[in-house]
A and B are shown apart, each in its own frame.
Chain A
Amino acid sequence: MAQTPTILQFSGHQYLRHRLVLSILSGKPVRIDKIRSDDKNPGLRDYEVSLLRLLERVTNGTIIEISVTGTAILLKPGIIAGGSVVHDCPLSRSVGYFLEPIVMLAPFAKKPLQLTLRGITTDDNDLSVDIIRTVTLPHMQLFGVSEGLELRIKKRGSPPQGGGEVQFLCPIVRQVKTINFVDPGKVKRIRGISHAVRVNPQFSNRMIEASRSVLNRYIPDIYLYSDVYKGEDSGKSPGYALTLLSESTTGAMHCAEAISQPGVPPEDIALQASRALLTEIKRGGCIDRQHQVLVLLMMVLGSEDVGRCRLGEPTTRTIQFLRDVKETFGTAFKIAPADPSDQNTPDLLFSCYGVGYINANRSLA
């Protein structure tokens, strides 16, 4: 009889995270090959191996096989167990790299997850912990994952040495709610966090000043916080960054951030962040680019109802994600212009019929 489950086949090192997430959620084994097979340094990188380790620790019964060359992996997913887990992230990627897939998985675990991650908290490849705390988690609240959802930044750690620590607490849900988020509204407030560790604390104030010079013209409701970490809590390397987020009347959020670069004054960093925020706002949609994948995944997993969400132009990650979702869950999105009569909005209306994913791991006993 057809006892062998269908194996998902992917190739390439890109989009590894959401493929692993889809595999674990759907329970289908995944084989990913040609991982940097043409590269001078072929195979998995240390952070990818570390991610696999983390996933194995968060789940129960997961079997991961890595080929000898490291260019192919086979993951047979177990169930998402949750519980308290501590993980040391390598210094090649920041904590955000690991948190992103975990945020997608954790609501469907058996027990509430308490994950402690150590490493770099802010870098320019992945979402910083500030964005995850202030933007990603509120996005999860749209889907009914709210009570007890928290990210505590215990210590900050800047690249290259890191030394930061965050604690991620996530409750479990039976089923995520269906959303119908089609009105981006208008930006009503802007918030921001600027932090500076192991440098002159005046830097963060300078960043706030510079950022205000750009943003003040639009809206008066701007609060930029200066987040101070001292001594042990400030990690091992110096660095500073500005994280900005705008919130609209309907709760649509856009975010941007910029982090310190050697030889660039903090004012320039602030300008960079502010302008990136304006670019984000201009792109429109109810969800910003970084969170498209998260929101679309949660829409797919929703109850068997139509969920709708208005997004800006999809990113490459989003496009690949949509294709992978079709392969794993057999469902596709209807993508229509948000406003057919309007010539100028690039916005698209994504609607899909949820697969009715129920957290089967949750126990009643």
Chain B
Amino acid sequence: MESQSHKAHRPAQSGAKAEKKSAKAKGKEKQHGFNEKAFAPRSGRRAERQGRRTAERDQTRLHVPLVDRTPDDQPPPTVVAIVGPPGVGKTTLMKSLIRRYTKQTLNQIQGPVTVVSGKKKRITFLECNNDLNSMIDVAKVADLVLLMIDGSYGFEMETFEFLNILQSHGFPKVIGVLTHLDLIKKAATLRATKKALKKRFWTEIYQGAKLFYLSGVLNGRYPDTEILNLSRFISVMKFRPLVFRNSHPYLLADRFEDLTPREEVRASKGKCDRTVTLYGYLRGTNYRLGTKVHIPGVGDLDVKSVQILGDPCPLPDAESEKRRKLSEKKKLLIHAPMSDVGGVIYDKDAVYINVPGNFTKGGMENPGEGEKMVLDLQDVGSTLEDVVAKSQIRLFGSSSRPLSVQAEAGPSRLGSDASEQSDSEEEEDDGDEDEDDDEALSGEEDEEFGSEDGFSDEELDVPDDEATLGDHGRSAPRTVRRSMHGLSTSSGKRGEVDYAESDSDLGGEDDDDPGPSRRFVRFDDEDPVDVASDEEGEEQDEDVPQWKLNLSERAQAAFRESSRSRRRKDWTKLIYNSSASPESILGVDGSGDTSSSGVPRMDDDDFFTVKSSAPVKAEEDLDRTKEPVNADELKQWEDEELLDSIRHLFITGTPSQSAEGVDSNGEPYEFDEEGLQDGDGEDMGDENGEGKPSLNKDADALAAKKAELKRKFDEQYDEPDSAKADFYTEAKEAMARQQQLNRAEFEGVEDPEARALLEGYRPGSYVRLELSSVPAEMVENFDPRYPIVVGGLLPAEERFGYVQVRIKRHRWFAKTLKTNDPLILSLGWRRFQTVPIYSLDDHSIRMRMLKYTPEHMHCYATFYGPAALPNTGFCAFNALSRDSPGFRVSATGVVLDIDRSTKIVKKIKLTGVPFKIFKNTAFIKDMFTSALEVAKFEGANIRTVSGIRGQVKKALPKPDGAFRAAFEDKILMSDIVFLRAWYSIQPRKFYNPVTSLLLSDKEQWQGMRLTGQVRREQGLKAPTNVNSIYKPVERPARRFNPLKVPKKLQAALPYASKPKLMKPQHRATYMQKRAVIMEPEEKKAMALLQQVRALRKDQVVRRREKKEEKRAEHRKKIEKEEAKKDEKEKERRKEYMRAAGMKSKREAEMEGGGRSGKRRKT
């Protein structure tokens, strides 16, 4: 039986079974993918619900489309701020992150640190110290905040304060970082803490906000894997533009230099206003020249100049672009000038290499002879010239006045200064022309500059430069230098022009065309155009008396000629770079004066300008919009040909031209130029003979035409697609189109200065801002740990006015806010102290002043200060110092309105007393002081205390300020009359910027204090007003006269109204006078009745007693039951506690057991 072979199974190859199987196999294959049945709703209702939910979720995804002004190609580094209370591990985290990105460990980090984090990404790390001012500034510039929280402690007040500040300034992205978690030993506690902190964090930010856990510190850094994870989260973070930052240019300064001449500083003992430069990446919108900036903590400043510098921390360029990852070399890039790493600093015209540990003054043990000499040279207080000037030479011993050389010394020094200045500028201009030369030069400079700090012997290598310069000795090492070696080369280069010296003396010019021929306007690409001659030609035209001869030909010729000459004009240069009057630019000087005035002068052309006397005109030139009608010009239109020549500008014009010209796409409109020149509308087809260029042109035109047709076709037939786009996508597309245009429009402008004039300095470029008249304290008390933010101001924000805001006291702030108490606001870029007045809208009739902010409600506040755009958020503080107890954010709100006047009123009650009363009329005094005042209040409503209403009628002549008033009833002499009025109040014009950066101790800024505070600090008592002292109130009893109704009236009154007051009865009444003696029968009856009553009483008493007994019994019973219940409850609780105790004990044991178990296992 073993060997019996079974017939092998042959699966059916065809037929129903095979088909079924194949179908099944297919189905199985399908199951690997998406099974649509699995998620199909079972019922229609459910399907509807699901559909609705997805639709709703889709809607939550949408946000108001906002234009992002940061460029995509070269974005500025993202600012990642590390914020948290002291000792939480901020510096450690920063070090770890920098190590992660650059493989370098920085020992001391100060100021912002920029690193390259990806192929298209850079990050600026910024550590925020615990000062409230710094927190405010950081909140305004940070794109991402790493909010550090001590896990072992929990949230601290600063964290919440910072979150509130963030919220009122736009709320950038926040990642929470929990540290010190290794201090929590128990796993359960750790878990519980994490959960609790996460919950709180989520309620503060949003549900699902990212919270990171860092376990412990290894080698002074956080564990590498955790930092790697954190860096990944940072790199994938998406940023939504914040409205305020998207409308302001700003810069986070990462370098700070003082440019003030040392001499000036020395002379003023360091008190003079400084000129400083700040370096950093521009962010936000384009920075326009002339925009004022505000540095929080310093104030509003003017920017003297802006230079775009080479990127100190450039993104990897194209050659490394091919790789997917950042190359290791690029990873080493780090830019942190304030921390002094990297060592190389590129300035406007120089490169500084910092060689650490080289030389410090006074740090030498025993200097050699040469070094000593150099050191002595450094210590010289005044220049040689000064010494010479001061030294007195007497020719003879008997001379009374010494010889003076001051007259000489002054100008020569000035001249040399000026030449230095202009030379450096010239060199900068020439830079692009002879780059090689320049590079060599800058190399020299570098060495030289290095040597000035380092005092190596290289100084001797460049003696010729020194000689030409005549440089003076310096008392202090220079921090920032400008080039001054250009003199020899530049003069050599300018050898062709003889007057180079004088040219440089002019100073401050940007000469593109220093050519000798002054009469011509010269442009880069064209022949010199003599504008004057052009104009002369026109004048000749006008002069010809017989204008009718060959009118049409000449008109056309003139038209062509003029258009050609116009075309040649470089309008940008003529308008912006020349000082020619508009008339001369156009060549339409009405008065035919000499050609010299017709020549457009470049502003640097004329050294001597002849002041042309204004031509006295018979008719004065009005500021008119309509140009005066030129009769001759209009006469031309009598010519038929000319009339026909503009036919192509109408839709009825020749079809070929219209096809060529009309372009709905917004592409430049094209005339058929050949057609015009020939004077008739010929087609372009017959120009093939002209050769290749025209052929090419034809092909291009054809291609363009085709593309156009295709686009039109698409537009017509692909309608469904475009129609489907909703508002959101449409808006986004429009934005993208506009962005594209923005990028493309100024791409071709090569000259960076011209481009800056057109569109400003783009965000993402590394710039150097030169600020003038900066307070000396900023330089002297500079501390890199405090961020320097440079915020650009919009024109509206430079102005001052009354700002109305909607404000709400913070619910965690302990006190209420009082009108006219100083408040520190952080609004826009600024931090300032001001005095607000709170108000509420009173039935839309008036703004009524409030003494205090309401609880749990918004109110208005109006203060004097710099304007901010409506809808800007702010937060307010009562004090910024660390020692102010409790929560420091006192209020938050938003700007509503800016105005130059306010309409806040408060209630005022004027009181007066009557001094004479007629029927309904009374004379009132003591309310006003003069008849004039009364006149102002005529017709006003008044009222007595008892509620009788009346009106002011007219002033009385006799007591000043008394008036006649009419009431609805007769008032009493004892009545007080009052007039309710509204008194308008203005907020005090008090604005005090928080100048914390100017202080040596930056946390101790103190603004205006309250009177009470001042008194307390000075130990003064509040002065008492005599009238405010409480005196014992004496109220004499008021006596009222009895009401007397005249007899006649009494008689006429009905009985009910008659006065019924009577005297008490003196005599005994009839009944009182009589004694009662009872009959025996009656006596008996009375006795019986009394007995019955006594019985009844007794019965009632007994019944009550019985009831009381029963009640007592019942009470006892209830008490017993209660006791039983209590007992039971006690038992139950005991049982429960016992169980719980057992459980916890068991758990503890389990833990211990687990460990021991593990131990046993190993």
Contacts and interface: CB of A to CB of B under 8 A. Distances in A.
Interface stretch (A66-74, A83-91, A183-191): A183-191
A39 B576 contact: no
A79 interface: yes
A28 B795 contact: yes
Contact of A13 (B301, B623, B901): B623
B77 interface: no
Interface of A: 1-3, 5-6, 13-17, 25-28, 36, 38-39, 60-61, 78-79, 96-97, 100, 110, 124-127, 178, 180, 182-188, 214, 217-220, 249-250, 257-258, 271-272, 275-276, 278-279, 281-282, 284, 289-290, 303-306, 308, 310, 313-320, 322-323, 326, 329-339, 341-349, 351-353, 355-358, 360-365
Interface in B777-809: 794-799, 801, 804, 806
A278 B206 CA distance: 65
A-B pairs, 7 with minimum CB distance: A61-B900, A330-B290, A363-B897, A360-B796, A1-B299, A316-B582, A319-B582
B896 A353 contact: no
Contact of B673 (A329, A344, A365): A344
A36 B870 CA distance: 41
Contacts of B588: 316
8 contacts: A6-B302, A60-B901, A275-B637, A276-B629, A303-B67, A310-B669, A345-B671, A360-B898
B898 A219 contact: no
A358 B794 contact: yes
Nearest to A282: B646
Interface string B625-643: 1111100011001000001
A363 B741 contact: no
Given A60-B899, A279-B634, A186 B661 contact: yes
Contact of A313 (B290, B302, B586, B667): B586
B814 to A, nearest CB: 29
A318 B583 CA distance: 11
Contacts of A303: 67
A289 B564 CA distance: 20
A61 B989 CA distance: 15
Given A125-B624, A217-B643, A315-B627, A305 B742 contact: yes
A185 B662 contact: yes
Q: Which of A178, A329, A355 gathers most chain B CB within 10 Å?
A: A355
Interface stretch (B756-764, B1113-1121, B1129-1137): B756-764
A346 B558 CA distance: 13
A281 B646 contact: yes
B663 interface: yes
Given A187-B651, A290-B625, A363-B804, A342 B671 contact: yes
A219 B576 CA distance: 40
B651 A219 contact: yes
A219 B668 contact: no
A44 to B, nearest CB: 12
A308 to B, nearest CB: 7
Interface stretch (B169-177, B565-573, B965-973): B565-573
Given A2-B301, A306-B742, A358-B869, A219 B629 contact: no
Given A281-B646, A364-B870, 11 more contacts: A78-B900, A218-B647, A281-B649, A333-B758, A342-B673, A344-B671, A345-B669, A355-B288, A358-B247, A361-B898, A364-B897
A213 to B, nearest CB: 12
Nearest to A289: B627
Nearest to A186: B651
A279 B760 CA distance: 37
Nearest to A347: B669
Contact of A335 (B572, B741, B796, B896): B572
Contacts of B595: none
Contact of A278 (B643, B666, B741): B643
Contacts of A316: 582-583, 585-586, 588
A129 to B, nearest CB: 13
A15 B623 contact: yes
Contact of B745 (A36, A127, A308, A322): A308
A199 to B, nearest CB: 21
A82 to B, nearest CB: 12
A333 B606 CA distance: 26
Nearest to B653: A186
Contact of A79 (B286, B801, B869): B801
A1 B796 contact: no
A275 B796 CA distance: 45
Nearest to B566: A346
Contact of B757 (A124, A332, A357): A332
Nearest to B579: A323
B499 interface: no
B576 A184 contact: no
A78 B749 CA distance: 37
A353 B742 contact: yes
A250 B741 CA distance: 20
Contacts of A314: 571, 575, 586
A360 to B, nearest CB: 4
Contacts of B629: 124, 258, 272, 276
B300 interface: yes
Interface in B595-633: 614, 620-629, 633
B796 A331 contact: no
A225 to B, nearest CB: 21
Contacts of B614: 38
Contacts of B302: 2, 6
B867 interface: yes
Nearest to A335: B571
Contacts of B662: 183, 185-186, 249
B392 interface: no
A279 B989 CA distance: 57
B626 A124 contact: yes
B378 interface: no
B871 A364 contact: yes
A271 B636 CA distance: 12
Nearest to A125: B624
